């Protein structure tokens, strides 16, 4: 049960798993920046659909990431609610028009422009979050570190990134172990407990988790110092992968998305696509 909630590298086969870590990182960064910069609904909807289709290509089942997706969806909905509460007419200001769908109290009118703006915000989550999860679950940390070093990044930084990627599933697993031990002691953390109580109880788990993480960091640092890590100017890698035609194709697609974003900036006269003109 606990392993279904872990987000980290999983063994697999297929096109995404055969790509270099650098190619996937470049694609993730460029496409995410493009999606977060533009508010052209056509482009971000295309990226969102493509990101979700990549899950099928990678063979990742929804139940394996259900816990993370639930957190993301809840956070996205809370963000949309807060945006509406603090700026209920922001969409009207952006699109320079007002189409009232439902009369509200004071300035809290429900307009088509505000709903369209909130739709764009929601689509941005479906653009970036799936790409981040795919990157973590299809990229072997050692192979990614080796690829970064081949791209000119210092091997110290590359090794730090590798340790970070390895530590993500470890800290999730440790969280689950602490949670199960707390439940064995009588602390109710399941869905049977009220939501507020579950939140408070899970926050209490963070304290032993933080101390455990600090202890592990100290152990790893000491072990690396004893092995004279960082004394040499270079190092060899067990997993090393050169860029192939598939990698260059993926990088080219990412660059194409950025170029399309720039073209849409010029076509739309800015970041926002306005369907309410005319």
User: CB–CB of 101/112 below 8 Å?
Assistant: yes
User: CB–CB of 189/175 below 8 Å?
Assistant: no
Helix (H, G, I), strand (E, B) or coil at 101: strand
In whole angstroms, how far apart are CA 63 and each of 49, 179, 184?
Answer: 19, 20, 25
Residue 134 has pLDDT above 90, yes or no: no
pLDDT of residue 253: 93
Q: What pLDDT band is residue 255 in, cutting at 50, 70 and 90?
A: very high
Instruction: Give the C-alpha separation, 258 to 49, whole Å.
Output: 17
pLDDT of residue 45: 92
DSSP E strand boundaries for the chain: 100-102, 110-111
Least confident piece of the model among 33-42, 95-104, 120-129, 269-278: 95-104
Helix (H, G, I), strand (E, B) or coil at 39: strand
Rounded to two decimals, what is the model's pTM?
0.74
Q: What pLDDT band is residue 2 in, cutting at 50, 70 and 90?
A: very low
Instruction: Give the C-alpha separation, 56 to 208, whole Å.
Output: 37
pLDDT digits over 31-47, tens only?
Answer: 999 999 999 899 999 99
In whole angstroms, how far apart are CA 57 and each of 19, 126, 170, 207, 242?
Answer: 13, 16, 26, 38, 22
Residue 73 has pLDDT above 80, yes or no: yes
Q: What pLDDT band is residue 237 in, cutting at 50, 70 and 90?
A: low
- Which comes out higher in pLDDT, residue 48 or 278? 48
> At which residue do the structure tokens 């479906």 appear?
126
Instruction: Give the C-alpha separation, 180 to 187, whole Å.
Output: 9
> At which residue do the structure tokens 């482009």 appear?
43
- Structure tokens, 36: 């977060």
User: CB–CB of 110/100 below 8 Å?
Assistant: yes
Across 105-134, b (16+ Cβ under 10 Å) vs e yields: eeeebebbbbebbbebebbbbbbbbbbebb
Instruction: Give the C-alpha separation, 127 to 41, whole Å.
Output: 11
Instruction: Give the C-alpha separation, 10 to 133, whole Å.
Output: 11
pLDDT digits over 157-196, tens only?
Answer: 777 777 777 777 777 777 777 777 777 777 666 666 666 7
Query: In 10 A of CB 102, how many CB atoms?
Result: 8
Packing angle of the helix pair 41-58, 21-37 (nearest 10 deg): 150
């Amino acid at each position: 049960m606990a392993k279904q909630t872990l987000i980290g590298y999983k063994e697999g086969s297929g096109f995404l798993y055969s790509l270099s870590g650098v190619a996937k990182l470049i694609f993730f960064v460029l496409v995410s920046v493009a999606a977060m910069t533009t508010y052209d609904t056509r482009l971000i909807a295309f990226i969102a659909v493509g990101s979700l289709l990549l899950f099928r290509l990678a063979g990742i089942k929804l139940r394996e990431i259900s816990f993370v997706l639930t957190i993301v969806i809840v956070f996205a909905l809370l963000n949309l609610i807060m945006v509406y509460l603090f700026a209920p007419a922001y969409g009207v200001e952006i699109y320079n028009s007002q189409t009232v769908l439902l009369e509200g109290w004071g300035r809290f009118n429900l307009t088509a422009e505000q709903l369209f703006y909130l739709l764009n915000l929601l689509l941005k989550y479906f653009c970036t979050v799936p790409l981040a999860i795919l990157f973590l679950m299809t990229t072997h940390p050692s192979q990614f570190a080796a690829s970064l070093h081949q791209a000119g990044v210092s091997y110290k930084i590359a090794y730090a990134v590798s340790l970070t990627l390895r530590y993500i599933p470890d800290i999730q697993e440790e969280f689950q172990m602490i949670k199960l031990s707390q439940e064995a002691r009588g602390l109710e953390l399941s869905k049977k407990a009220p939501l507020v109580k579950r939140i408070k109880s899970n926050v209490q788990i963070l304290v032993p988790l933080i101390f455990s993480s600090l202890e592990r960091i100290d152990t790893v640092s000491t072990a690396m110092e004893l092995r004279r890590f960082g004394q040499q100017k270079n190092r060899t890698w067990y997993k090393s992968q050169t860029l192939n035609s598939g990698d260059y194709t993926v990088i080219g697609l990412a660059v194409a998305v950025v170029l399309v974003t720039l073209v849409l900036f010029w076509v739309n006269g800015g970041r926002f696509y306005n369907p309410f003109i005319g």
